[in-house]
Amino acid sequence: MSQTRSQPRSRLIMGNWKMHGSLADNAALLGGLVAGAQRAGDAQLAVCVPFPYLEQARQALAGAAITWGAQDVSVHDRGAYTGEVSAAMLADFACAWVLCGHSERRAMHGESSALVAAKAVAALGAGLTPVVCVGETLADRDAGQAECVIGDQLDPILALGADALSRMVLAYEPVWAIGTGRTATPEQAQAVHGFIRASLAQQGAAQTRILYGGSVKAANAAALFAQPDIDGALVGGASLVADEFLNIAAAVA
C-alpha cells in the first residue's frame, strides 16, 4: 500500500555503528554529527552505538538534535544472564532506540522471529522504541520467497497489535544489500515496503515508520527517500563518517 506524504510520517535516519569505534574515534564522529546536525532539516537523526559507548554518546549528544540507542537488548529484566543487557539498563543511559533482530544477530546468534518479538516487548516495557529489522537473503529472493520470508519474520511482531506497532519502527534490510555495496533499487525496496505497509495497515498501524537499510549512501539516498513507503534509513558503514551520514540525512530535504 503506497501512501502519499499528505500526512507525512517524520523521517528518521539512524546509524548502526555495529562493532566499530573507540573513545577517540567516537569523539570525532559525534562532534562532527553535532556540528552538522542542522543539515538534517526536519529528519530525525539517531545513532545506535556499542554498549560501552552509550555514556559517551549520552554526554556528547545531550542537548543536540540527535538521539541514541543500542544494537541489541535482552528479553530478561535481570538475573543470571551473563553478557546480557536489559532494556532498563539501556533506559538508564537515556537510550531512545534499540535495534531488534538485525540480520547479523539472526544469522550469527540464531535469533528467531519469536525472540526478536520478545526483545521488542522488553524494549517497549522500558519506554524504548524498538527498531525491528526484517529482510530476505539473496537465495530467498532468487527463489521468489522474499515476501514469504519477510511475512514469517513479521508475524510475531504483527501479533503484538496496533498499540505496540504504533510505538515501534520497522527496518527492511535485504541481507544481500547489507555491507555489500549492493543496494536494492528504489523500486525493489518500495515493493517490499509497500508489502510491509499493507501488513501494518491490516493491524491498524499504517503509520508505523519503515526504514530501508542496505548500503545506503549519500549517492543513492534521495532516490530511496522518494519512494512513498520509505520513511528513512538504517545506515551501517556510511554512518561512521559524519559528513556522509549527514549528507544522507540532507537527501531527505
Contacts to ligand PEP by CB under 6 A: 16, 18, 173, 178-179, 213-216, 234-238
Q: Is 76 tagged catalytic? A: no
CB of residue 98 vs ligand PEP: minimum separation in angstroms? 13
Closer CB to ligand PEP, residue 149 or residue 206? Answer: 149
Closer CB to ligand PEP, residue 205 or residue 248? Answer: 248
Residue 33: name the closest of 233, 194, 191, 246 by CA. 246
Catalytic residue among 84, 102, 136, 147: 102
Residue 235: name the closest of 253, 221, 222 by CA. 221
Instruction: Give the 3-state secondary structure percentages of the chain, helix then strand then coil, rounded to 5.
Output: 45, 15, 40
CB of residue 201 vs ligand PEP: minimum separation in angstroms? 25
CB of residue 245 vs ligand PEP: minimum separation in angstroms? 10
CB of residue 6 vs ligand PEP: minimum separation in angstroms? 29
Handedness of CA 115, 72, 38, 212 (dihedral sign): negative
Q: In the bound complex, which residue of the shown chain has the CB atom lying closest to ligand PEP?
A: 236
Q: Is 173 tagged catalytic? A: yes
CB 18 within 8 A of CB 70: no
Handedness of CA 225, 234, 100, 112 (dihedral sign): positive
Catalytic residue among 109, 173, 193, 244: 173
Q: What long-range pairs does 75-80 form, CB within 8 A, spacing at least 24? A: 75/115, 75/118, 75/119, 75/121, 75/122, 76/122, 77/122
CB of residue 74 vs ligand PEP: minimum separation in angstroms? 20
Instruction: Please give the distance of CA 203 from its chain centroid, rounded to a whole number.
Output: 21
**Which grid coordinates are listed for 93?**
543511559
Closer CB to ligand PEP, residue 206 or residue 212? Answer: 212
Residue 184, CB half-sphere, CA atoms under 13 Å: how many?
29
Cell 526504514 belongs to: 211
Instruction: Indicate the DSSP class of residue 79.
Output: S
CB of residue 51 vs ligand PEP: minimum separation in angstroms? 16
Closer CB to ligand PEP, residue 102 or residue 197? Answer: 102
* Cα–Cα separations (whole angstroms), residue 13 to 38, 55, 110: 13, 21, 27
Closer CB to ligand PEP, residue 72 or residue 206? Answer: 72
Closer CB to ligand PEP, residue 101 or residue 206? Answer: 101
Catalytic residues: 102, 173
